[in-house]
Amino acid sequence: MENQLLSPKWWFEGTHIKVGVLERSWIAVIERSALPTHDEDLVAVFAPAEKAFARIARERYGLLIDVRAAPGRNDPEFEKKFEPVRQKLQKGFRRVAIVVRSTSGKLQAQRYGRADNLPSGVFDDPEPAVKWLEAVSLRP
């Protein structure tokens, strides 16, 4: 997300994720790195996001998840472990926009959205994702 409009104020920058907000919008951001998580505890990987999001009123915010850099995984073991982490992380946000780089990533994110029964959208570009999230903003 190099665009100046889409430059988050980062609250946490780790090896697997960055977490922050777009200051001019009511949008929280998670950006996933290219580092694989196959040997990682997913709860520990995403715990900094949970901690950071405790400081905001999720019901006022949209959530932008940028996974374009993340290595793709859809093996059953990963999916089983990731489901509760994903659901907890996204719970309470007005909308969730996921930015992916591939068709298979898009299909996987759409499947997650249906399974989680959340208001979510999948995009290949962050700009329309931000506009979609801002459409339901509670910004004063």
Tokens matching residue 74: 């859809």
**114 in any annotated domain:** yes
pLDDT at 17: 96
Q: For residue 108, what pLDDT is reported?
A: 92
Whole-prediction pTM value?
0.91
| Residue 102: inside a domain | yes
Q: Are the beta carbons of 62 and 93 closer than 8 angstroms?
A: yes
Please give the tally of structural domains in the chain: 1
pLDDT (0 to 100) of residue 125: 96
> What count of other Cβ atoms lies within 10 Å of the Cβ of residue 12?
14
Does residue 7 fall inside a structural domain? Answer: no
Query: Does some domain include residue 36?
Result: yes
Q: pLDDT per residue over 82-101, tens digit each?
A: 999 999 999 999 999 999 99
140 part of a folded domain: no
For residue 70, being part of any structural domain is answered with: yes
Task: Give domain status of residue 15, yes or no.
Answer: no
In degrees rounded to 5, what are phi and psi of residue 3? -55, 135
> Which is nearest to 140 in space by CA: 66, 64, 57?
57
Q: What is the pLDDT of residues 97-136, one digit of tens each?
A: 999 999 999 999 999 999 998 889 999 999 999 999 999 8
Range of the domain at 113: 21-134
- Give the span between the Cα atoms of 12 and 19, in whole angstroms: 5
Q: Is residue 93 part of a domain?
A: yes
Q: Is the pLDDT at 2 greater than 50, yes or no? A: no
Q: How confident is the model at residue 1 (pLDDT cuts 50, 70, 90)?
A: very low
What are the pLDDT digits (tens) for 30-70? 999 999 886 678 999 999 999 999 999 999 999 999 999 99
> Kindly report the CA angle at 34 between 32 and 40, in degrees rounded to 5?
80
Please give the average per-residue pLDDT across 12-40, as a whole number.
Answer: 91
Cβ–Cβ < 8 Å for 133, 27 = yes
